[in-house]
Structure 1
Amino acid sequence: MPIQTIFRLAEIEPQQWDALLTAPQPFLRHAFLSSLEDSRSVGDGTGWQPQHRLLVDVTGAPQAALPLYRKSHSYGEYVFDWAWADACHRAGIGYYPKLLCAVPFSPVTGARLLGNVESAAHMLDQLTGELAERGESSLHVNFTEADADALLRGRDGWLERVGCQFHWHNRGYRDFQDFLDALTSRKRKQLRKEREQVAGLGIAFEWREGRQVSEAEWDFVYGCYANTYHVRGQTPYLTRAFFSLLAERMPQAIRLVLAKRGATPVAMAFSLVDGQELYGRYWGCLAEFDRLHFETCFYQGIDQAIAAGLQRFDAGAQGEHKLIRGFEPVITRSWHYLAHPGLRAAVADFLLQERQGVLAYAQSARQALPYRQA
């Protein structure tokens, strides 16, 4: 069956792409990825050049796919290989461009080999054989799920890298108080005090689905989102148009909480949802309020997950501060094929040592969880 490369997701019908997905997670859907492209959040001038791979049958129907990007930098990936690129630069070896199979700006574990996973893995094999011809140093597959791990583990030349995130798990809690009752007394008092501090500021919260958000409110959301980058002297990854396009194409998956003081919004947290999980993605505020970040990003999300009967809450990639608030360590995986044999050997040695450290860290973090012991 022929393999095709498409440079815009608009070249394939949404229902054809989405038919390759086996889970309801929103990040791989045509609506999400095409919104990134059509809003110019990825594409020319961004360092993220879409080059999606498709395996099609004789009728032209896709049987397998890879969400693939040609990268000229390592921003927005959340699996950090800057040191590898620096080592290449010092050794006179080109590291960019490289190929990345992932969802831009989304450190969320999920499907990366779409449709028939074995066929998708064979497309990876073809790509690794073409790296030198294409002038690319490497191929990376970030935040993989078990099917991809099983196919890539032991595959010639592929290196496994582990990381650690913190996710909240719903153990059948009736409400937030029921969750608090599962914590030790000291941590329970801390969380309750933090919530009371925010309430004492006169701040209330409103939850919206995508269809309930006005364009003026999206302006506010984008202003908050962009401000989190501007205060660090950085350029936001997403454009303003992305939020409107996503609200038009995938409104049912959007969950937005607005923090308001009176009638005036002061902060927001933007999330996506599927049938089992809430994914906290973006946060921002236009004024500083003590403890507002914890309430808006964590406690409101826990409230929402309990009310909706969701099983997990992934509040983002960063932060040990999640640990004392009941978010548990979760191991993530990514896979890396480096064409240069010397670089591959050096990175393999580094990853072996890093793996031991990450697993030990995750085990240690479990000992610091605030839950009462049975």
Structure 2
Amino acid sequence: MSGLSIRVLKTIAEIAAAEWDACAGDDNPFVAHAFLNALEQAGCVTPRQGWQPTHLVAANDSGAVLGCMPLYFKGHSQGEYIFDHGWAEAYERAGGRYYPKLLCAVPFSPVTGPRLLCHPDADAQAVRAALLGGALALAERHGISSLHLNFLTPEENDFAVAQGLLPRLGEQFHWHNDGYGDFEDFLAALASRKRKAIKRERREAAAPGIEILRLSGNDLTPAHWDAFYDFYMDTGSRKWGRPYLNRDFFTRLHETMADKILLVMARRNGQWIAGAWNMLGSDTLFGRNWGCIEHHPFLHFECCYYQAIEHAIEHGLARVEAGAQGEHKLARGYLPAPIHSAHWIADPGFRRAVANYLNEERDHMLGLIEALDAHSPFRQTEAAPETE
């Protein structure tokens, strides 16, 4: 791209945080230099673990940074939440080599946000074209099978598709703030049966004398993180088999992004027993991980969903994104929302096969979202007000 040059970073520490963040903006904490750097410096993202940082930076003739792209050579498909394991198996059965591949994403974070980061004073289309062109050139130079851009914003997805990448549609469950004054105001918008169920769940979650605190900024201490990390490791080891994050990562996150963190912690008889880690954007609360060392009915729903909704209402946030999967979120006010990714496949035959698969998957996903919408927990607008 005329007037823009692309350079490759082996670590994000090779660029000043101010330069990266001027392009990333303040809306989404996951693309902040501090978050990505904490993953690398803590050793959660390393070549040995199958994550080779290969970030791209676009600069003008004067050397001013106008765009950035979080990019990785990947030796596997773990920690991505956009699943292409089947593609890899099919391609390798046919004699191809799927890995390494190139991935533009935030490691271990199923969160929609900008991926082709542009300085607000730059020509966004030109910067995006330069970054995407640089990634494609890198893929072709190294004979890479594919390039994947995960959890794109709708605008970036449209751009990538216009450049010839294959679109993929998925779904998550998000809660939207319809101008609620408080949690009771939100409950009043629900169908009577759903409203009663949530009230019962909240009562039972607190029934064993459990106290719940929401902690952020200066209220967070290393002791809170020690407890949460125990929860994270216990749940992760049982559910996923191999937790991705280590204790050093949370220390670094606390030191650099405490004001972007919301930790919901539950304790009983003075002992911490469960917790949920969230990140705060400019208008969104992002739910990330949950863990516990004691099991109590509905405590998971209270810490992860209801406390998040209360915090969003109290602080005027527009929505809560509750992470990957989980149709059980629907009954608790979280509605299906589309998520987008875009994919470049080098081999023409394999590209056609993937394109056909994605077309069929898209039809299925649209039908699923429509079916889930039909089971919304909210009262129909034309219905008369309900009584308890």
Q: TM-score category by the smaller chain?
A: over 0.9
The 3 A distance-change label for structure 1 pair 130 and 25 is: closer
Q: Distance in 1 between matches of 2:253 and 2:137?
A: 36
**Structure 1 position 356, deviation (Å):** 0.4
Structure 1 residue aligned with 2:348, among 341, 347, 368? 341
**Structure 1 position 71, deviation (Å):** 0.3
Q: Distance in 2 between matches of 1:63 and 1:122?
A: 10
Letter of the structure 1 residue corresponding to residue 109 of structure 2: S
Q: Is the CA contact (8 Å cut-off) linking 2:220 and 2:258 kept in structure 1?
A: no
Q: Distance in 1 between matches of 2:162 and 2:322?
A: 32
- State the SS of the aligned residue for 1:370: coil
Structure 2 residue aligned with 1:81, among 71, 80, 84? 84
Q: Distance in 1 between matches of 2:214 and 2:102?
A: 38
1:70 aligns with 2:78: no
Once the two structures are superposed, the pairs formed by residues 278-357 of structure 1 within 5 Å of their partners are 278-357=285-364
**Structure 1 position 60, deviation (Å):** 2.4
Q: Distance in 1 between matches of 2:323 and 2:187?
A: 22
Unaligned runs of at least 5 residues, structure 1: none
Q: Is the CA contact (8 Å cut-off) linking 2:26 and 2:282 kept in structure 1?
A: no
The 3 A distance-change label for structure 1 pair 103 and 233 is: closer
**Structure 1 position 154, deviation (Å):** 3.1
Q: Distance in 2 between matches of 1:184 and 1:24?
A: 33
Q: Is the CA contact (8 Å cut-off) linking 1:27 and 1:103 kept in structure 2?
A: yes
Structure 2 residue aligned with 1:58, among 61, 82, 89? 61
Q: Is the CA contact (8 Å cut-off) linking 2:6 and 2:130 kept in structure 1?
A: no
Percent identical among aligned pairs is 45
Q: Distance in 2 between matches of 1:126 and 1:195?
A: 51
Instruction: Identify the residue that residue 193 of structure 2 maps to in structure 1.
Output: 186
Instruction: Identify the residue that residue 120 of structure 1 maps to in structure 2.
Output: 128
1:160 aligns with 2:163: no
**Structure 1 position 117, deviation (Å):** 4.3
Instruction: Identify the residue that residue 224 of structure 1 maps to in structure 2.
Output: 231
Instruction: Identify the residue that residue 9 of structure 1 maps to in structure 2.
Output: 12
Q: Distance in 1 between matches of 2:160 and 2:181?
A: 40
Q: Distance in 1 between matches of 2:151 and 2:180?
A: 28
Unaligned runs of at least 5 residues, structure 2: 119-123, 382-388
**Structure 1 position 228, deviation (Å):** 1.7
Structure 2 residue aligned with 1:151, among 159, 162, 166? 159
The 3 A distance-change label for structure 1 pair 30 and 233 is: closer
**Structure 1 position 23, deviation (Å):** 4.6
Q: Is the CA contact (8 Å cut-off) linking 1:211 and 1:247 kept in structure 2?
A: no
**Structure 1 position 353, deviation (Å):** 0.5
Q: Distance in 2 between matches of 1:126 and 1:218?
A: 39
Instruction: Identify the residue that residue 101 of structure 1 maps to in structure 2.
Output: 104
Q: Is the CA contact (8 Å cut-off) linking 2:260 and 2:279 kept in structure 1?
A: yes
**Structure 1 position 127, deviation (Å):** 2.9
Instruction: Identify the residue that residue 363 of structure 1 maps to in structure 2.
Output: 370
The 3 A distance-change label for structure 1 pair 308 and 8 is: same
Q: Is the CA contact (8 Å cut-off) linking 2:6 and 2:134 kept in structure 1?
A: no
Q: Distance in 1 between matches of 2:138 and 2:9?
A: 17
Q: Distance in 2 between matches of 1:87 and 1:111?
A: 30
Instruction: Identify the residue that residue 236 of structure 1 maps to in structure 2.
Output: 243
Instruction: Identify the residue that residue 42 of structure 1 maps to in structure 2.
Output: 45
**Could you list the per-position Cα deviations for residues 306-352 of structure 1 after superposition, in whole angstroms to 9, with x for gaps in the alignment?**
11111100111110000011101111110000101111000100000
- What is the TM-score with the length of structure 1 in the denominator? 0.97
**Structure 1 position 129, deviation (Å):** 3.8
Q: Distance in 1 between matches of 2:147 and 2:175?
A: 31
RMSD: 1.3
- What is the TM-score with the length of structure 2 in the denominator? 0.93
The 3 A distance-change label for structure 1 pair 266 and 357 is: same
Q: Distance in 2 between matches of 1:17 and 1:353?
A: 38
Instruction: Identify the residue that residue 373 of structure 1 maps to in structure 2.
Output: 380
**Could you list the per-position Cα deviations for residues 213-266 of structure 1 after superposition, in whole angstroms to 9, with x for gaps in the alignment?**
221221111111121221136111111111110111111101111101121110
1:134 aligns with 2:142: yes
Q: Is the CA contact (8 Å cut-off) linking 2:58 and 2:130 kept in structure 1?
A: no
Q: Distance in 2 between matches of 1:367 and 1:348?
A: 29
Q: Is the CA contact (8 Å cut-off) linking 2:56 and 2:134 kept in structure 1?
A: no
Q: Is the CA contact (8 Å cut-off) linking 1:68 and 1:102 kept in structure 2?
A: yes
Instruction: Identify the residue that residue 177 of structure 2 maps to in structure 1.
Output: 170
Q: Distance in 1 between matches of 2:222 and 2:361?
A: 45
Instruction: Identify the residue that residue 32 of structure 2 maps to in structure 1.
Output: 29
Q: How many residues are paired up?
A: 373
Instruction: Identify the residue that residue 264 of structure 2 maps to in structure 1.
Output: 257
- State the SS of the aligned residue for 1:231: helix
